[in-house]
Chain A
Amino acid sequence: MTDTLTIRCFGQLTDILGSARLEVPITNDSEELMHLLLKEYPLLKTTRFIVSVDRKVIREKTVLTPGSEIALLPPFSGG
């Protein structure tokens, strides 16, 4: 069992954070995770993004496990 969560970042977030992956200690749910991320990476407050867990956008508090695939997604700009 790993005790960290790996979070993938995309688009302009890779410029803002200087990395496509963040590692943070595991949290119980997505609300705790956001609280931790905004504290550890205050630059995240400067841009808009949504969160996905296991490749689905989440809108509500979601339980996380060590295997959860978490990503921070800035506004999409395909096409």
Chain B
Amino acid sequence: MILQGEQLFHQGAIPAGKLADYIQQWGGDHSTGAFASFLGQVRADLVNNEPVTAIEYTAYETMAEEKMQEIATGVQQQYGLNALQVKHSLGLVRSGEICLMVITASAHRKAAIEGCNELVERVKKELPIWGKEITGSANHQWKINQ
């Protein structure tokens, strides 16, 4: 149940309801006792005293998809996850909207939580994705991951 042939990328903001859809879908696996999730939301940081109104995401899509498969396979094996899913936005996502969704399912909570955390860290560090922070006056600066 790793990614299940689904695309990593989602055009625009990710609807929060998608999280519930996956939990509903995976609930049928009665060997699962724990779900963990992380949702990343675009934050209105101040850039030159102006709040960020949106982030425009671009990616080297084919490389990102290949790398994501590699990461997913490694994390699934390392933590013994029953299922996992990662979705990342492409294009414009406004402040207050969701740009990253990571969900894991496992028999026990520790694997689900730690596997989810590792996926988030590796997505941010290893996937060729770039965020352009846009402010009200049509200025922009390229996001820097902390």
Q: Is the CB of B145 within 8 A of A75?
A: yes
> Is B131 interfacial (CB 8 A cutoff)?
yes
Q: Is the CB of A77 within 8 A of B144?
A: yes
Identify the closest chain B residue to A15 (Cβ): B142
Q: Is the CB of A73 within 8 A of B60?
A: yes
> Is A42 interfacial (CB 8 A cutoff)?
no
What class of interface size applies to chain A in its complex with B?
A: 10 to 19
Count of chain B residues with Cβ under 8 Å from any Cβ of A?
27
Identify the closest chain B residue to A50 (Cβ): B128
Main SS class of interface, A: loop
Q: Give the A-B pair count, Cβ closer than 8 A.
A: 65
Q: Is the CB of B128 within 8 A of A73?
A: yes
Which residues in A have their C-beta under 8 angstroms from that of B145? 75-79
Q: Contacts A74-B142, A79-B120; is A55 near B62 (CB within 8 Å)?
A: yes
Q: Is the CB of B130 within 8 A of A77?
A: yes
> Is B127 interfacial (CB 8 A cutoff)?
yes
Q: Is the CB of A11 within 8 A of B130?
A: yes
Q: Contacts A71-B60, A73-B60, A78-B100; is A10 near B124 (CB within 8 Å)?
A: no
Which residues on B are within 8 Å of A, measured CB to CB?
A: 40, 57-60, 62-63, 66-67, 88, 99-100, 120, 123-132, 142-145
